[in-house]
Amino acid sequence: MSRVPVLGELAVLDDVGPPRRGRAYPAAGATSALLLPAIVLLGGLVLWPVLRTVHASVTTDGHWVGAEHFRTALAAPDTGAVVGRTVLWAVLVPAVVTALGYLLAAVSRRSQEGGLVRLILLVPVALPLVVTGVTFRLMYDPDPGRGLFTLVAARLTGRSAEDAPQMLGPGLVTVALMSAFVWAWVGLAVLVFRAALDAVPPSLGDAVRAYGGGRRHVLWDAQWRPLLLRTVAVVFALVAVGTSRTFDLILVMTPGSVRDEAAVLALRVWQTSGGTTTGEGAALGVVWLAAVVGGILVAALFVRQAWPPPRAEAPPGPERAAPPWRVFRLLAAGAAVAWLVPLVVLVATSLHGQVDAAARGWWSTRPGAGSYRDLVTGTELWRTLGFTLLLATVVTATVLLVALLAAYPLAWLTGPAAQATGLLLLAASVVPVQVIAGPVNEVLGLVLSSGTARGLALVHVALGVPFAVLVLRNAFADLPAEQVRGARLGGRRWWDTLRRLARHNLPAVVAVSVLEFVQVWNDLVVGLLFSGPEATPLGLFVAGQTRSFVSNSGALAASSVLASVLPVLLVVLARRQLVAGLVSGGVR
C-alpha cells in the first residue's frame, strides 16, 4: 500500500472511496470506447462460443433434448474414472506442488547456493509442456537400454527388465504424468513462497521469540497466520487451474494403448468432439467448464485482497541472515540435483543421431551433433521457429495494446462494479479452449479466417486478453496517487495520460508481455485446434513427431532443446516481474 505523504492530495484528485481505486475519473465517453476492442474479442471468441457450447449440450440439431446428452455422457462406462482422475489431478497435484514449493523456498532462503537452486527449479517452469512431456517420456522409456528411470528401477528392485515397473504402463502412467507436472510447476511455487517469506517482517518473529516462543511458534504466529495461509491458497488455486492443461502432457507422453488409463476431461472432450462441439462432447465440456470456473471463483473470493503486492516488500533485514540448518541446505542441494536429471537426459539424448538415440541409451554411445545438424540444415525447423516467433510477437503486441486500452477505464471502477469485472475477467481467462473449439471455428469462419494463421492469432489474442486486462487494471489501480496525479496533469489527452501511467507500470507491462509471449510460444492445444497449413507452430511441430517417439527421439530431443532456449531466457530474466504480475492479477 502506498503511503501518501500529503493527505490533501487525495481530496484534490478524487472523492472518498476505497483507497485502492477510484482516484481519478477519465472522461466517460472517450474512454469507454477504449473497451471496445476487448469487448468485441471476448464477446466473439469467448462469451459467444461458451453460450453456443451450452446450447449444443442441451440440443440435437437445434431441437431441445434437455439433459439427455449429460445423461449419456455421464453414463458412458469410463466417464466416472475420467472425472475421478480429473479431480485427483486438481487436488493431489496442487497439494504436492504447494508443499514442495514451501519446503524448497524455506530451505533455499538465505543460503549462498539458494539462488542457484531456485534458478534450476525455475527452468522447468519456462519449458513448453510439450518439451516436459518429451523429457519425461525419454526418461521413463520402458526399455532399460534407453530409459534411465527404468534401468535404475530394475536395478533397485532386482527384477528383470521385463518385470521392472513401467512408468508408462497402464498402472503407473498417471503417476508418471503427475511427476512431470510437479517437476514443471514447483519452481513457480518456490518463487511465490519466497516473495511471501521475504515480505514477512522479521520483527514479527523477534516479537514472538521475545514472548518465549520457539521455532514452531515463530512459524505459526509470525509466518503462517499473517501471510502464508493466503499464499498457500494462491499457489494451490494457481496449480489446480494449471492441471487443466495436462492435455499437452497426455498427448505427448502416453502411447496410444494407455491413453485411456491416463484420460482426463480435457482429453475426453477433445476425443469426443474434436473440432466440432456437439452433443455429448458439449455436455462434458459444460461440466468441465462449470468446475473450472466455479473453482477459480471460489479461490478468488478466498484470496481477494489478501495478497500484498510483493513490489511493496521490505528489503530483508541484514541482521536476520542466520544460515539455515545444514540438513536443510543438503535438502535444497538434493532437490536441485533431482531437478537437473531430466534436463540432463533431454540434452544428452539430443546429442545423439537418429539411429543411436533410437537403438541405444544415451549413456552407452559417444555424443555427436548429428540430430542438430539434421534439424539445422533442414528448412522445416526454421520455418516453424520463424512462424512461432512472428506469431508470438504479433499476439503479444496486440494483447498488450488491447489490454492497456481496456485496463485504463476499468481501473477507475469502484465497489461492486470493479469486483464484478474482476471476477468476469478471471473466469474468462480460465475457459478451457477445447470446450469452445467448435463455436470458435464458426466465428472464425464468419470472419473468413478459420484454419489460417490469422485465425490462430485471433484465438490466441482472445484467450490472452482477459488475464492481461486483469493484471494491468490492478496495476493501474494500485498506482500511488502522486503518480496518477502527475500523469493526469502532465498528459494533455487521455492517451498521454495512458502512456505516462503505462511507464509507471513497467513491471506489470513486462510481466504481461513475457507471460503472453511464452504462453503463445509454448502452446500446443490452440495450434492443434486452429492452425492452418501455411505453417506449423512449434508445439505442434514437436508433438507431431511423437507419433513415432522412439525412432524420432534424437530429433525430438534436439528440437525440444532449441524450442526451449527463448522461453527459458525470458522467464529467468523477468522472474521478479512475473511473480508480481501473477499475484497482483489473481491466478491463472
Give the footprint of another protein on this chain (CB under 8 A): 62, 142-143, 161-162, 166, 168-170, 255-260, 263, 267, 271-272, 274-276, 354-355, 358-359, 441-442, 444-445, 448-452, 455, 529-530, 532-534, 536, 540, 544, 547-552
What single DSSP character describes residue 3?
P
| Closer residue to another protein, CB minimum distance, 274 or 324 | 274
User: Phi-psi region for residue 332, left (φ > 0), alpha (ψ -120 to 50) or beta?
Assistant: alpha
- Nearest approach, Cβ of residue 279 and another protein (Å): 12
| Closer residue to another protein, CB minimum distance, 233 or 444 | 444
| Closer residue to another protein, CB minimum distance, 252 or 296 | 252
Q: Cα angle vertex 532, ends 529, 535, to 5°?
A: 115
- Nearest approach, Cβ of residue 540 and another protein (Å): 8
- Nearest approach, Cβ of residue 549 and another protein (Å): 6
| Closer residue to another protein, CB minimum distance, 111 or 349 | 349
| Closer residue to another protein, CB minimum distance, 449 or 564 | 449
- Nearest approach, Cβ of residue 257 and another protein (Å): 4
What single DSSP character describes residue 113?
T
Residue 158: exposure state from Cβ atoms within 10 A (0-12, 13-18, ≥19): exposed
- Nearest approach, Cβ of residue 428 and another protein (Å): 23
Beta-bridge mates of residue 59? 64
Q: What is the C-alpha to C-alpha distance for residues 220 and 96, in angstroms, rounded to an integer?
A: 20
Find where cell 519446503 sits. 103
CA dihedral 30, 31, 36, 38 (to 10 degrees): 160
- Nearest approach, Cβ of residue 357 and another protein (Å): 11
- Nearest approach, Cβ of residue 158 and another protein (Å): 17
| Closer residue to another protein, CB minimum distance, 449 or 505 | 449
Residue by residue, DSSP assigns 149-213 as: HHHHHHHHHT--TTTS--TTSTTTHHHHHHHHHHHHHHHHHHHHHHHHHHHS-HHHHHHHHHTT-
* Residue type (1 letter), 421: T
| Closer residue to another protein, CB minimum distance, 43 or 445 | 445
Is 308:474 a contact under the CB 8 Å cutoff? no
Find where cell 532437490 sits. 335
